[in-house]
């Protein structure tokens, strides 16, 4: 004699399958959310790497070339520190190595660049020509967002006899620089909401500390 399932058994089976379905959905949702967070985090990290690489490239290619201001010549090749153009520090100089294959473009391989922070965004400014006509507006590229602090420090020339540094001495960083020659080194330091405080130090023109 065949015996079927009772109503209680069927209800229990439905309850078990429903519980398994809810648990599976919760696990799947958690996995999807984690993947989205990981992807977003990885994308921000890649952007940070690109920004640091861009800064490093510009620093390593800095050249002692002055820029005409409003059509007037001057001797200043680098200017940095507190700036009215930036919410924090700012920096301006000329770098070489701007690719122009076979000089086919109507410009040189030099490029005037500047860095500043506006509304929590680290920006790189540049122009097509080192010496621009009066009123030329620079192009702006946002490197990083959610930047709460931005500081630039410099090491100028060190007198070998009077101010030589041993391995145990601290480097004498200064908060601003305006000069007709390039400093020995530059330090970039900024605070990112995503990655905290980041500092990079660069030597210029092959100078050794």
Q: How many CB atoms lie within 10 A of CB 91?
A: 24
CB 110 within 8 A of CB 65: yes
pLDDT tens for each residue of 34-91: 767 778 888 888 999 999 999 999 998 999 999 877 667 788 999 999 988 899 999 9
Among 94, 103, 87, smallest CA distance to 69 is for 94
List, for residues 91-119, the tens digit of each pLDDT value: 999 999 877 776 777 677 889 999 999 99
**H or E stretch covering 47:** helix 7-60
End-to-end CA distance of the chain: 96
For the chain, give the mean pLDDT. Answer: 82
Q: Which domains does the chain have, with CATH numbers?
A: 56-203 (3.10.610.10)
In this prediction, residue 186 carries a pLDDT of: 93
What does the pLDDT read at residue 88?
A: 92
Q: How many Å apart are CA 194 and CA 191, to the nearest integer?
A: 9
């Amino acid at each position: 004699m065949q015996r079927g399932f009772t109503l209680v058994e069927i209800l229990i089976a439905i309850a078990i399958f429903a519980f398994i379905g809810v648990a599976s959905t919760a696990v799947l949702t958690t996995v999807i959310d984690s993947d989205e967070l990981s992807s977003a985090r990885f994308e921000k990290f890649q952007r940070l790497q690109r920004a640091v690489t861009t800064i490093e490239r510009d620093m390593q290619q800095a050249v002692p070339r002055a820029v005409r201001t409003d059509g007037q010549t001057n001797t200043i090749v680098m200017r940095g520190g507190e700036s009215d153009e930036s919410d924090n520090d700012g920096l301006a100089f000329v770098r070489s190595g701007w690719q122009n294959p076979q000089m086919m473009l109507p410009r040189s391989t030099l490029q005037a660049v500047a860095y500043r922070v506006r509304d929590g965004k680290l920006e790189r400014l540049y122009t097509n020509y080192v010496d621009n006509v009066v009123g030329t507006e620079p192009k702006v590229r946002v490197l990083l967002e959610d930047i709460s602090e931005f500081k630039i420090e410099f090491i100028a020339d060190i007198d070998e006899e009077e101010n030589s540094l041993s391995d145990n001495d601290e480097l004498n960083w200064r908060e601003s620089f305006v000069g007709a020659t390039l400093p020995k080194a530059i330090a970039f330091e900024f605070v990112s909401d995503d990655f905290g405080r980041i500092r990079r130090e660069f030597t210029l023109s092959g100078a050794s500390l």
